[in-house]
Structure formats: C-alpha cells, structure tokens
Amino acid sequence: MRRTRVMIAVGIAASLAVAGAASAAVLKGAGKTSTTIIKIPANNLNDAKAAGSISSKPAPAKVGLAPTGGGSFAVKLAKDVGDPLKPGYGPGEYVIDVESSGTPTGSIVGAAGAAEFFIALTIDALTGKCTIHGNPHFTSVASGGDATMCGGMGQPLCATDAVGKCSATIYQVAGEGLMGIANPGDPFGARFRLRQNPNTATCKTGNLCVNVPPFVCNGSCQTGAVVGVGGVGLAPFGF
C-alpha cells in the first residue's frame, strides 16, 4: 500500500504539472501550467466562456513552515450568474477528481495501477469564494483536520487551509506521499474532473480509487455528479 500511495501522490503532482521531489525540493524543469475547466453539461453555445481554470507552479520549501511537496496549485471557478454564455458554479461542496496512470508510460483508464485521487473544496454561500480543504491527516485541527500525521515529534509541521483563496500545496493534499519516490520527477499522465461532493463526511481530500486490481474506492467521492472537465471544448462551440 505504501508504493500505491506514492504512485498516487506522483500522479497528483503531474496532473497539476508539478514535478514532485523528495524532501520537498523543486526539480529543474518543473514549470508552470494552466488548464481550463469546461462546465458539464456543456451549453454548446457559440462564444461561451470556460467556467474556470487550474494553474500550478513550483513551490520551494521554507524553513519554519510546513513542507510544500515541491509545488502549489490554484483553482479559479467562475460564479454562476445565470448567463449561458458565462457558465459558472454556485455555492456548495465540490471535489476535484484527479485520474492518473500507475507508471510514467501507463494508461490512465483501466490499467493496473491507474487511480483517482480526490481533493475537496467549498464555495462559500456568503462570499462566493472557494477554499480547498487539505488532507485531514496533515492538516491542523484549527483548519478542520485531525493532525494525526503532523505536528508531533518527528513529524512535519501541519498545514492550514488557505481560506477563501482556493489554493494549496501538494503537501497539503497529499501529505508526505512524495517523500519515498525512487525517481523524483518522473512524468505521469493524468486528467481531472470537477464533481459535486456527495457527502463531506465520507468524501475528503486524500480519498482514493485504486485499480490494483480489483478497482477499490474508499469514501464516496467518485459517486458525485461530474460538473466540469479539464481541457478545451471542440469547435464550433467557441470555448
């Protein structure tokens, strides 16, 4: 299971276009990236805008602060204003579904080792701002985590949620999963979906679906309705 967790963590880093590295270092060649979010179901209207984006960049660790895992990412979700040409999302609970391959050259779908990793987020009803929730095991109690794998003797510092900023580091969502990688920086193929969060008690950041085989999921994240996908829309819809 340790190796599986490591592979999933690498898949997350790659899906956000960040090269993961042991000891939270940032490898040469790790770069910035951005991909658009297309709302589902698509409205298929000319000149409709994308409903958001996910971007990432390298993030070196800093002394005295929680590790970074080598990178950070930010999510921007457009507000639902009732205009079909300006699709967006209303207040509620959502989850990013990151699907990754088990090896650098492996298939994302159906292959042994392919997996899904989930990252929970909330759009606040009052402010309309988004907050990404960290993996509870590596998140402080003050931020809603259980801090079972951070903050103690010999453990890394706990992370805190960036409330209202909709951003996080790889460490915040994957913990120390990148620390044991034999070949840091290996490329991994991945894609992502945006889902509704069906139950915040059973769908949290760090939940997994793993095809080892068999295909096994913990939590309920994979049952949420898909409301967005990463990428571009096909012509002639104008995304």
Q: Does residue 69 register a pLDDT over 50?
A: yes
pLDDT band at 181 (very low <50, low <70, confident <90, very high): low
- The domain in which residue 188 lies consists of 2-23+32-230
Q: Give a yes or no: residue 239 inside a domain.
A: no
H runs (alpha helix) in 96-146: none
Q: Give a yes or no: residue 64 inside a domain.
A: yes
Per the structure, how many domains does the chain have? 1
The C-alpha angle with vertex 25 and arms to 22 and 29, in degrees rounded to 5, equals 105
Give the start-end residues of each E strand in the chain.
33-39, 52-59, 70-77, 92-100, 115-123, 130-132, 167-169, 190-196, 208-211, 215-217, 226-230
pLDDT band at 109 (very low <50, low <70, confident <90, very high): confident
- Closest-CA residue to 88 (of 153, 142, 37): 37
The C-alpha angle with vertex 118 and arms to 103 and 215, in degrees rounded to 5, equals 55
Q: Does residue 238 register a pLDDT over 80?
A: no
> Pick the residue with more confidence: 91 or 237?
91
pLDDT band at 32 (very low <50, low <70, confident <90, very high): confident
User: What pTM did the predictor assign?
Assistant: 0.84
Average pLDDT of the residues in 214-233: 88
pLDDT per residue as tens digits for the range 141-164: 999 999 999 999 989 999 999 999
Q: Give a yes or no: residue 235 inside a domain.
A: no
Q: Give a yes or no: residue 238 inside a domain.
A: no
Q: Give a yes or no: residue 183 inside a domain.
A: yes
Q: Give a yes or no: residue 148 inside a domain.
A: yes
Q: Does residue 120 register a pLDDT over 80?
A: yes
Determine the pLDDT at residue 24: 41
Q: Give a yes or no: residue 203 inside a domain.
A: yes
> Pick the residue with more confidence: 26 or 115?
115
Taking all residues of the chain, what is their mean pLDDT, rounded to a whole number? 80
Average pLDDT of the residues in 119-142: 95
Least confident of 111-120, 166-175, 176-185: 176-185
* 114 touches 102 (CB < 8 A): yes
